[in-house]
Amino acid sequence: MTDATTARLDDWAKKQTAAEELIPLVGRLYRENDVLLTLFGRSLLNKSVTGMIKAHRYARHFLGEELDIQITHRIVKALSGLNLAPARIDLGRLIEKLDDPNADVDAFLAAELAGVVESQSGKGETRDVVLYGFGRIGRLLARILIDRAGGTGMRLRAIVVRRNGDSDIVKRASLLRRDSVHGAFDGSIVVDEENNTIQANGTLIQVIYSNDPSEVDYTAYGINDAIIVDNTGKWRDEEGLSKHLACPGASKVLLTAPGKGDVKNIVFGVNDEAILDSDNIVSAASCTTNAITPVLKAINDKFGVRNGHVETVHSFTNDQNLIDNFHKGSRRGRAAGLNMVLTETGAAKAVAKALPELAGKLSGNAIRVPTPNVSMAILNLNLDKATTVDELNTYLREVSMHSPLRNQVDYVTSPELVSTDLVGSKRAGVVDGLATIVDEDRVVVYVWYDNEFGYSCQVVRCVAKMADVDVPAFP
């Protein structure tokens, strides 16, 4: 081998060694102190060695160069020696503020993390969460909650479903274990048919069989003060969703569909401050509304939106038919895997429920297409101020990196990116910068979104807000 080849392999081996030492430190801080470490918004918890190295490579988008994993290791090792209270710490943004890599790291961290250093350490209270329904969204919510088990706040205690045959629980567990779109569950799943429980990576989940909320007593399973996440969509108004609140052990309800009537529709990051302690029923709106509202807010804040049209190119859902059959909706009865289906969407009008300043300014339509996941919203907007492609894209990139909407909006510029590349995206929407069109005050912005997983991440953020388990974020 040449000297250059040997040097590259040696460098990679050093990165692997540093990553191998870093991974247990990250896990221990989470389990023992409930401190979640991220790198420019991306969680480092449960990363593989290669995943940890890749996360440091991703930092070049913020720092202009790849982040040296040895620096991160120094910071995390120092954090491990501090008496930390529960917190979310972005190591990338901390390192940005560390002017001299050779500086006194302990003194630097003590100053930056004064709010959680030497304060009351240890885990806080946990809040019981129940998934009412276990379909596409329900199972992804379960995966996310299981992955976060061990920290403060949300603990998945049960799922409520209708019994479908003697092998029901085995089939439910199998659907959690394997997914045609999102891949295999990362971990171990054990089924106890006698006690109707599923143990997933140490999280014991009670499977409760019921045909109606009125039949459930959660306290019989040791579940109290629970947040019920209704992902069936069967009830969407206050009267219907109130059935959950009548159950012993239930205290709040979150709907994973657009709410009707007086139910608050929340797009986390945009209007989540509207969730009050007194709110017992809240909606997390729809996947499309969550995808487009943060981007629309960002654009409206800087340029003003006079009016516009939103066209969604949406993956098919289980509401459609596999082959031609009767459907109460127009066109939706036609085979989902063979057709583009022009249909309606209420997402554009629903934006106004989270962003009232856009009320009456947007129209919308949808085309269902033969893909199982990842959709796109095309925002055709007329602005109050003229702009350019460079100005608009630079602004949206900045929003995705440094604004309060950075957990909702992502930004990509890959000329080879296609829909399957966005499977598993944790952001509500991903702006495709290369597709942006600008003609003075008229713009077209393309927003990708994982209509399953990206939306589920938004739902979990709402659950955390309702559970009042938010931890301080640093810096």
469-473-475 Cα angle (round to 5): 170
Say if CB 260 and CB 237 are below 8 A apart. yes
Helix 69-80 / helix 3-33 crossing angle, nearest 10 deg: 20
- Number of C-beta neighbours around residue 377 at 10 A: 28
Half-sphere exposure of 359 (CA within 13 A, CB side): 4
Q: How far is 284 from 457, CA to CA, in rounded Å? A: 11
Q: How far is 26 from 22, CA to CA, in rounded Å? A: 6
Q: How far is 467 from 237, CA to CA, in rounded Å? A: 21
Residue with tokens 């276990």: 134
Say if CB 429 and CB 296 are below 8 A apart. no
Q: How far is 425 from 448, CA to CA, in rounded Å? A: 10
Residue with tokens 């893909």: 371
Q: How far is 82 from 155, CA to CA, in rounded Å? A: 26
H/E segment holding residue 178: none
Give which of 119, 84, 88, 41 is closest to 473, Cα–Cα: 88
Give which of 461, 457, 436 is closest to 446, Cα–Cα: 436
Cross-strand pairs, 228 = 130, 253
Q: How far is 291 from 270, CA to CA, in rounded Å? A: 11
Compute the CA torsion angle 42, 48, 50, 56 (nearest 10 deg).
30
Task: Give the tokens for residue 110.
Answer: 């003590």
Is 287 a residue of the active site? yes
Q: What are phi and psi of 133, to 5 degrees?
A: 110, 150
Q: How far is 56 from 72, CA to CA, in rounded Å? A: 9
Say if CB 87 and CB 38 are below 8 A apart. no
Say if CB 464 and CB 148 are below 8 A apart. no
CA-derived radius of gyration, the chain: 23
Helix 69-80 / helix 49-58 crossing angle, nearest 10 deg: 110
Catalytic residue annotation: 287
